[in-house]
Copies of this chain bind each other. A is one copy, B any other.
Amino acid sequence: MNEYEVFELGDVVLQGGATLRAAKLAYKTFGSLNEDKSNAIVYPTWYSGRHWENEWLIGEGMALDPNEYFIIIPNMLGNGLSSSPSNTPPPYDKARFPNITVYDNVAVQHQLVTEQFGIEKLALVTGWSMGAGQTYQWAVSYPEMVERVLPFCGSAKTSLHNIVFLEGVKAALTADASWKEGWYEEQPTKGLRAMARVYAGWGFSQAFYWDEVYREMGYSSLEDFLVGFWEGFFLDDRDANNLLTMLWTWQNGDISKTPGFDGDYEKALASIQAKAIVMPAEKDLYFPPEDEEYAVERMPNAELRVIPGVWGHFAGGGLNPDDTKFIDDALKELLAN
């Protein structure tokens, strides 16, 4: 499951001016590219996610059926598999790893898709959370190339509140002195656990906790959930500098920073040609439906479809079969048109 390919990007000049030398894009594919190369789907990863944590949305009989589509999961820069603070040799390692934008991520994914596979059209780009951000960015960076998009539980521009939520996450991690401004030899686990506890309140809705839905997930108490799910999540081979790199990417996500839009968010949204179903979750605390409603109203060919229920942001995390079916149904509908 963890086998994957690596695309050698060479030296990548980033949007911020730095050069990511000998950059690597780790990816995994499912299914086969058809003869006219019309069945390709790009499905980027989310904050801290690795390609295998995307696979729940792929399967026979599902919208993302490998018998029908050629599905590419590119790992986000900074996630520990693609070029990251944790795997880049000095002098660009650890705290010196450059800032990466969502635009940069999509630019290198575009290189992979076109140079490695010779694909000219994408049937679909889809993704959860920061994967949704990359989905929007694909539609803005390459409007002629992307036929359909289905971003779920994510946004085209990181809202100010979302930036503040992430400030709290970052502050908790970096309050641990053993982080050493990024120059640690061992993971600052106290900070990672603190970050996990901050995240816990945001990832699921108030009602999720009220209903104690974590019991259905196999956790015997609230504390068991905080340790077992949340602390375990951020200790699972995740790296503090990698998490901070991706956090910067997230905080600075904004399609209007794409060259040509000069910060005009409405103009960037209006430039999207792809047919879109935009799917925020009803009780997502950091990507609230209101923000996506705003976006959809400014996109020429988009529908807002809110994922109902109490799972909040994790409605898009593949943990709840009802939510997964709701997303999968929308993907099927979109791909059929």
> By the criterion CB–CB under 8 Å, are A201 and B291 in contact?
no
Q: Mark A21-59, 1 if CB is under 8 A from B, else 0.
A: 000000000000000000000000000000000000000
Partner of A200, one of B164, B202, B205: B164
Asked if A212 is an interface residue, CB under 8 A from chain B, the answer is yes
Interface magnitude class on chain A: 35 or more
Asked if A89 is an interface residue, CB under 8 A from chain B, the answer is no
The interface residues of chain B lying within 8 Å CB-to-CB of A160 are 209-210, 212, 222
Partner of A167, one of B176, B200, B285: B200
Asked if A199 is an interface residue, CB under 8 A from chain B, the answer is yes
* A280–chain B nearest beta-carbon distance, Å: 12
- Residue in A171, A210, A226 with the greatest tally of chain B CB atoms within 10 Å: A171
Asked if A197 is an interface residue, CB under 8 A from chain B, the answer is yes
CB-CB nearest 10 A-B residue pairs: A168-B198, A171-B194, A161-B209, A171-B197, A175-B194, A172-B172, A160-B209, A175-B175, A165-B201, A161-B206
In the bound assembly, the distance between CA atoms of A178 and B190 in angstroms comes to 13
23 CB < 8 A contacts A-B? A159-B210, A160-B210, A161-B201, A161-B206, A161-B208, A161-B210, A164-B200, A164-B201, A164-B226, A165-B201, A167-B200, A168-B172, A168-B198, A168-B199, A168-B201, A171-B193, A171-B195, A171-B198, A173-B175, A175-B190, A175-B191, A177-B177, A207-B290
> By the criterion CB–CB under 8 Å, are B171 and A206 in contact?
no
Partner of A209, one of B159, B200, B209: B159
Asked if A335 is an interface residue, CB under 8 A from chain B, the answer is no
Which A residues, 278 to 321, have Cβ-Cβ distances below 8 Å to chain B?
285-286, 288, 290-291
Which A residues, 199 to 227, have Cβ-Cβ distances below 8 Å to chain B?
199-202, 205-210, 212, 222, 226
